Amino acid sequence: MQVYKKQSDLLKKTESLIDSRFPGFGINKKQETVRLVYEISKKESTSPENVIKDIALFDFEKIKQHLLKKRYPHAYLHNYLSRPYLPKIALDKGSVLEIKKTRFYPKKIFIEKSAWRSTLADRFRKSFPKAEHSEIKSFKDYLKIHRNSSLKDYNNRRETAFITYENHDFFKRCPCTKKAVGCGYNIFNLSFGCIFECTYCYLQEYTNSPGIIFPSNLDRFFNIFSSHKRPGMRIGTGEFSDSLMLDDITEYSKPIVDFFRKHNDIRFEFKTKSDNIKNLLNVPHAGNIVISWSLNPQKIIDKNEFLTAPLNKRLKSASECIKAGYKAAFHFDPVIYFNGWRREYKKVVDLLFESVRPEDIAWISIGTLRFNPKVKQVIESRFPGNRILDGELLRGFDNKLRYLCVIRRDIYKYMLGLLSRHSKKIPAYLCMEDISMWREMNLRPVAIL
């Protein structure tokens, strides 16, 4: 809680300073001024007094422009300060996430009546004998009773698991962001919620989820797949959970790999930040299964991807899967912009190609940090000492908070250059970017096969 206290004290100090210095400001003007001074002070590790010491103005718009220039220097330089997002800062001690490096062991497991006798329910009973196992009519009915969920509840979601009988939500097209180029991806909804804690995760939007949901009836997906199947389609899990986070318990990978042996014209992808690959190494496959890992510098993993496997274990797992005949894929997403980012990401790319041959890589994607505006306050509340929000994140073409176009362009150009030094034949694509960025990078928006 030391980090929370430090940021809470900084916020109180900033609010007191703005109240005394600009007593004529109304609520909204104070809110925006406090937000800017607080962020600058936090980012530059300086006092709020030092941030405003050169301000001899009392006109709000001029003060705001002065602070915006200081807070977003790149945006100011490129005349892109028309859409700053300056919500009220609401730090709350009860919302701070305390990272506990313990293995996943839920206290309560709720099992839908229709899934009570399922194989998955039996596995959870055997794996977590000390948990309280309760039957519920349905997850939907449970939510009707337990409607009000707080960030504290979300922080404790690892303590509760739901085993459900899924009726309709297994298959979806990738929910590509508005105005972005799609990559032709299809989603198999395998679980909802994650046992890992990443500061930037967009699942933090779903703070009303009281636990982690596991469907018990994969056979239903297999039965309806033919109605969705298209020749050469690309489908995978990992959009609303981590594909392999609990595969040692769920054993989801075994029936999935076996099913797609009969559909070898389809590419199926498991996305993960784990090293939980034991089942994959012991199941026969048709060579059409891709195991992919999200990659970041270890210093980013240490501070932003809590409870996940370290970089070296992700790469070691990729190497082992390749030896077992699988193709591997990698997602540099999100790339985080910070001092020294070029040096750190070059290390990751070099380590990648020391571990994996180019011909064993199915594809590589690159995406930069982005999230819906309301997630910013969730990140502040759960991770008050985070540094990812220190970047110049402004509302972009899809209304998500993003780095400036000029920064993203620099990142993509550099990352693609690093990759091309090792191989020019690996399919690469940008994630959640508009067509103009694809064209600037000389990439064609075609399906990745």
**Yes or no: is domain 167-440 CATH 3.80.30.30?**
yes
Q: To the nearest whole number, what is the mean pLDDT of the chain? A: 94
Region 316-321: what's the mean pLDDT?
Answer: 99
Highest mean pLDDT among 58-67, 173-182, 288-297: 288-297
User: Residue range 360-369: average pLDDT?
Assistant: 97
User: Could you read off the pLDDT of 70-91 as tens digits, one per residue?
Assistant: 999 999 999 888 789 999 998 9
pLDDT over 80 at 53, yes or no = yes
State yes or no: pLDDT of 104 exceeds 60: yes
Beta strands in 217-369 (DSSP E): 234-237, 267-272, 289-294, 305-306, 327-335, 361-368
Q: Find the mean pLDDT for residues 124-140.
A: 97
Average pLDDT over residues 262-273: 95
Query: Sorting pLDDT into bands at 50, 70 and 90, what band is 55?
Result: confident
Which residues have a Cβ under 8 Å from the Cβ of 176 and sit 6 or more positions away?
182, 183, 432
> Is it the case that residue 229 has pLDDT exceeding 90?
no
Split at pLDDT 50, 70, 90, the class of 381 is very high
> How many Å apart are CA 440 and CA 437, to the nearest integer?
5
- pLDDT (0 to 100) of residue 79: 87
Res 403: pLDDT: 97
**Alpha carbon separation from 437 to 62, 397, 406, 412 (Å, rounded):** 34, 11, 10, 9
Confidence of residue 449 (pLDDT cuts 50, 70, 90): low
Are 400 and 373 in contact by the 8 Å Cβ rule? The answer is yes
The mean pLDDT of 204-213, rounded to a whole number, is 88
- Could you tell me what percent of the chain has a pLDDT over 70? 98
End-to-end CA distance of the chain: 47
Question: Which of the four pLDDT bands, split at 50, 70 and 90, describes residue 247?
Answer: very high
Look at residue 448 in the predicted model and tell me its pLDDT.
Answer: 57
pLDDT of residue 446: 61
Side chain identity at residue 432, one-letter code: M
Residue range 216-235: average pLDDT? 88
Asked if pLDDT for residue 349 goes beyond 70, the answer is yes
Q: Residue ranges per domain, the chain?
A: 2-92, 167-440
Tell me the residue type at 58.
F
User: What does the pLDDT read at residue 124?
Assistant: 99
What's the pLDDT at 227?
82
Percent of the chain with pLDDT over 90: 82
